[in-house]
Structure 1
Amino acid sequence: MNLSKRIGAGLVALALAGSALTGATPALAANKTDLVLGSLIDVKSWDPSQADIGHMAPLYQAVYDNLILRTPDGKYKPNLATSWKLNADNTEMTLKLRTGVKFTDGASFDATVAKANLDNFIKGNGPQAGTLTGATVAVVDATTITIKLVDPNPELAYYLSTTDSYMASPKALGTAGLKTTPVGSGPYIFDAAASSAGSQEVFTANPNYWDKSKIKFKKVTFKVMSDVTARLNALLSGQIDATLLDTKTSETAKSRKMTQYLNNVDWQGILIFDRAGKINPALKNVKVRQAIAHAINRPALLKALQNGQGELTNQVFAKSSPAYDAALDKTYPFDIKKAKQLLTEGNATGGFDLTMPAWPDPTMNAVLGDQLKAVGINVTWTQVPAADYRNALKTGKYAAGLFQLFQGTPWVAINQMATPNGSWNVLKSTDPVIDRALNSLKDDASEKNLNAQAKVINRFLTESAWYIPFYRVPQLFFAGARVKTANQAQNAIPYLYSYAPTGK
């Protein structure tokens, strides 16, 4: 059954049954100070060292405070840190900390606690741990800490406002219980009795929270719903207040007067992890990776997957980035003959086998699989639960996989994709071109040199086919009548702080 038929059937079933979620209370009938969000994924561990960006952010933000707050437009505001300053060479930050803050178990927040949490993140094996590799934290006094870096990082504030500085209670930090029961100083308190891992996470307002302006609701519930049709039905019926949809479901939401928040954040494509050929020997040869790029009919994919909504690209940096090079978007035109020639030159005559986790939308697997098969690349799609897809890619088990990555600022993008410890450089690939650029940035982290080296890295990533983008995709977030929100810069969905009731 195709997607449009499934949506129609789902809506009919919804009208007949009245509720697609067993035991759920429709949000429109609930107290207007309740917020119910449809979440694509759930947290695997509440230990802050395991925090990640994107869809994970609002979940952690419910219970934990960062040192620095990032506003929807990407600017920074004080949070648990009241002020901060980087030294001239971007290798040391001094932060002044807020006083009088209590965790929900009664423990006090101070410099010693901040250091313990940062040390926990640095020593952890979380998806973003590489952003503070080798850093050391020192307590200056009860309200001051310093973070010393191995290499310059002019955007340290970004990482401290996203994943790197969620603060857990010192009583819970390091305990096994923290993985399943978060204890923070944040605006909401985890309701363990009402929560069920993989199904829903429930939080109630923290009555003693230090910043009342962040608490807009008495209760916040995240309902884990990996299926987009289910999310659409739940939104239309009022069972959830807001969620992410796609181009195939968005028109129905708009026709029902849901408010759309369009945010062009991500590119989608193939991430080639195994550039050394340890899992799949064929991928070691750059010509084989380039063959994959030429074998992809991007316009056909865009039409089939996004109803034509999006922007074709061959590069991972956004048009707004100083690293962007328009000429690079002409690197890999669809060319089956060229792809086969490159496979031959790359010692993969006739093609090879490639195993990747199946993308949640079967249309992608079918269309992309056929395109690659046309040049002799036979894809085996391993079934992975949608809620576990992101984590599966980061296990190091797969030579390549499909994903959407946000288009960050030059520094953030480089540290995400190109550095040995980059969060999406899963198998820690290196190359002399990348090494020289990174060494240059160690010596000169000025904006001028950063932009220059970002261009070098962008060209290398494109021409060496470390990543094979198809197109830039619109994030289609929708909210019902009772809540409003705001797009978050460089994030797929709004931050939790951005939601507020409309009074309707």
Structure 2
Amino acid sequence: MKHKTPLVSLFLAILMIFSLTACGGNQQSGGGSETRDSVNFGLTGEPSSLDPHLLTDQMSYAVWYQLYDTLIARNQDGELVPAIAENWEWNEDNTVLTLNLRKDVKFHDGSMLTADDVVFTIERIHNSKRIGSMLISFDRVEKADDYTVKLYYTAPYAGALNSLASSSFSIVPKAIVEKDEEGFANAPVGCGPYKFVSRSSGEKIVLEAFDDYYRGAPSIRHLTFKIMTDGVSAAIALQKGELDILSHAPLTERQNLIDDPNIEWYETEIAGLMYLLYNTADPVFSNAKLREAISYAIDKNAMILGACEGLGTPLEGWLPPSVTGYDPNYKNGHELDLEKAKQLMVEAGYPDGLTITVLSQEMDMYYKPTEILQNQLSKIGITIEIQKMERAAWIQEIGKKAYGMTIMHWTVPVGDGDVLYELYHGDSIQSGQNYVGCDDADLNALLEQARVEVDAQKRVLLYNQAQQIIIDRGYSFPLYTFMAGAAANKDLKGFQADAIYRFHVYDYSWA
């Protein structure tokens, strides 16, 4: 038997090498000999579309930021920086913006990005029914040469560069989109740091690093977005190591995640708000007195306590504090007053109350305040039956105005009060996101005037007047702003919470 001993020893040594390799591969620092090159990114809602020009949607944004790039970007400090456009310049009266493009930007299919793609993209955005109104005071776009583009505006607009930095302004390849628009939406091609691999609806979206990205290949090579609509389950998955990032971490799990030594908790006040949205074309909610009654029955502080662990601020107006046009001294005059609410119910024709169905997304940030609203409105005779829906289905129903009342969340990506134009001006019923369906001459006039007003104080006054009309006439009712919570594996560097949920995996790395 002695002559077999060297062979046995060699065999055991080989097994040991393979065992160590298997255990040590794809590990983060401290867990093995190699640094991880993958990230599992948890989303608590299904992205509605991978085409960035069809709608605005937070869950979709998370994927778009990886697949696409914009002409101008914002760094982690919120400063505007060059991206596809290496520099830009306004003419003397700020109505013509000239952008000089980089010459080394490739799409994921290997084709080079040129001015033709930029012109095509801007025109596509301008014609979009959902985001076209974001091109404020826009006239036309022209190609000056293969790497120079000019945008013409009918009047100066201070937020123009902010708009171009929005993920909704992602540049897409003209040839591919023109050839097969539906195919592009299902298997998108961008010029961002990650390229599309596959999508399993309701389960995951898989991306991988794009080695020819103009800023250099990402250190995170494999990126998987995992869809977990139950926020508590997603938080548990993060703690178990099944997720590395949870971008929309439920505030109900805040303390548990803070207490976990393997998790880092991040938070910042969101540049957005929760609000009550009505469909004024609905047979029930066309009744302005009913809408007014509801506004006097809402206890915002109780809603903040129950829906986001008290980590929020009641809002008087529709614009949150971080948005240009916000006035800290503005008061809307609609305070909690149950007796007044009950009297308005009588005037609305519902002395004995009524039963209504309210659509709600299944995510906690929507469902919890809807449950609280259900309890609060029961005090004035309104019985709410909640119809809990998957995110994409809910967005579809709201978009086609197949609802009466719902709780909505809106993040203001551009950070300017002109967002009210997109949501409440009559022109935006068909071309924007006026889900209320209001076409109010007084409101339209104020929003048109504010759009071109250059005096900052006058703009604030105009937006105060516009918000008062929105609230007094019951088009919507502001509730609260809150802390945006996010959490990640403690060894993941570069991650942070963001006021508009802007996440760039390209900037992340393992310790």
- Which bracket does the TM-score occupy, shorter chain normalised? 0.7 to 0.9
The residue number in structure 2 matching 1:378 is: 383
RMSD: 2.8
The one-letter code sitting in structure 2 at the alignment partner of 1:140 is: A
- TM-score normalized by the length of structure 2: 0.83
The answer to whether 1:100 aligns with 2:107 is no
Cα contact 2:133–2:422 (8 A) shared by 1: no
SS at match of 2:53: helix
| Correspondence list, 1:20-419, <5 A | 32-50=36-54, 52-87=56-91, 91-125=95-129, 127-132=130-135, 135-149=139-153, 152-174=156-178, 175=180, 176-192=182-198, 195-212=199-216, 215-243=218-246, 244-257=248-261, 258-265=263-270, 266-274=272-280, 278-285=281-288, 287-321=289-323, 323-326=325-328, 328-329=330-331, 331-360=333-362, 361=364, 363-406=368-411, 409-419=415-425
1:366 and 1:44 map into 2 onto residues whose CA distance is: 24
**Cα shift at 1:53:** 4.9
Q: Check the 8 A contact 2:69/2:84 in 1, yes or no.
A: yes
Determine helix, strand or coil for the equivalent of 1:44. coil
Does 481-490 or 108-117 show the bigger shift?
481-490
| Equivalent-residue separation in structure 1 for 2:61 and 2:402 (angstroms) | 25
Q: Hey, what's the Cα distance between the residues in 2 that align with 1:410 and 1:379? A: 34
Q: Deviations over 1:331-360 (max 9, x none)?
A: 222221110112333444444443321342
Q: What CA deviation, in whole Å up to 9, does each residue of 1:405-461 have, x standing for no partner?
A: 225633343244333328542244222332222332355334344333223223333
Question: In structure 2, do the counterparts of structure 1 residues 293 and 61 end up closer, same or farther at CA, with 3 Å as the change threshold?
Answer: same
* Rounded Cα–Cα distance in structure 2 between residues aligned with 1:26 and 1:100: 33
Match for 2:509: what amino acid? P
2:276 corresponds to which letter in structure 1?
Answer: I
Aligned partner of 1:447 among 450, 453, 456: 456
Q: Which has the larger radius of gyration?
A: 2
Name which of structure 1's ranges 147-156 and 365-374 shifts more when overlaid on structure 2.
Answer: 147-156
Is the Cα–Cα contact under 8 Å of residues 74 and 489 in structure 1 kept in the other structure? no
TM-superposition CA deviations, 1:246-277 (whole Å, max 9, x none): 22111111111321111111322311232xxx
Q: Is residue 41–residue 224 contact of structure 1 (8 Å, CA) maintained in 2?
A: yes
Superposition map of 1:458-469 within 5 A? 458-469=467-478
Shift of 1:44: 3.4
Structure 1 runs not aligned, ≥5 long: 1-24
Q: Is the CA contact 2:38–2:221 (under 8 Å) kept in the aligned structure 1?
A: yes
Which amino acid in structure 2 is aligned with residue 356 of structure 1? Answer: V
Contact 1:280 1:354 in 2 (8 A): no
Distance 2:118 2:174 in 1: 9
> Is structure 2 residue 508 aligned with structure 1 residue 500?
yes
Q: Which amino acid aligns with 1:219?
A: H
Q: CA deviation at 1:467?
A: 2.2
| CA offset digits 1:26-73 (Å, max 9, x no partner) | 988995221211012333333332252533222012121111112233
Label 1:336 to 1:75 Cα distance change in 2 as closer, same or farther (>3 A).
same
Say if 1:455 and 1:485 are closer, same or farther in 2 by CA, change over 3 A: farther
| Structure 1 equivalent of residue 3 of structure 2 | none
Which amino acid letter does the alignment assign opposite residue 117 of structure 1? T
Q: CA deviation at 1:79?
A: 0.7
Report how far residue 75 of structure 1 moved.
2.0
Q: What secondary structure, in the 3-state scheme, does the structure 2 residue paired with 1:455 have?
A: helix
Distance 1:450 1:328, change over 3 A: closer
Task: Rate the CA distance shift 1:113–1:365 in 2: closer, same or farther, 3 A.
Answer: closer
Distance across 1 between alignment mates of 2:466 and 2:169: 28
Unaligned runs of 5+ in 2: 1-25
Q: Distance in 1 between matches of 2:436 and 2:62?
A: 28
Corresponding residue to 2:488 among 479, 482, 493: 479
1:225, CA displacement in angstroms? 1.2
Post-superposition shift, 1:241?
Answer: 0.9
Identity level (%): 20
Cα distance in 1 for partners of 2:162, 2:505 equals: 17
1:329 deviates by 4.7
What is the number of residues matched between the two proteins? 470
- What secondary structure does 1:146 align onto? strand
Cα displacement (A) at 1:206: 0.9
Give me the whole-angstrom Cα distance separating, in 1, the residues matched to 2:257 and 2:389. Answer: 28
TM-score, with length taken from structure 1: 0.84
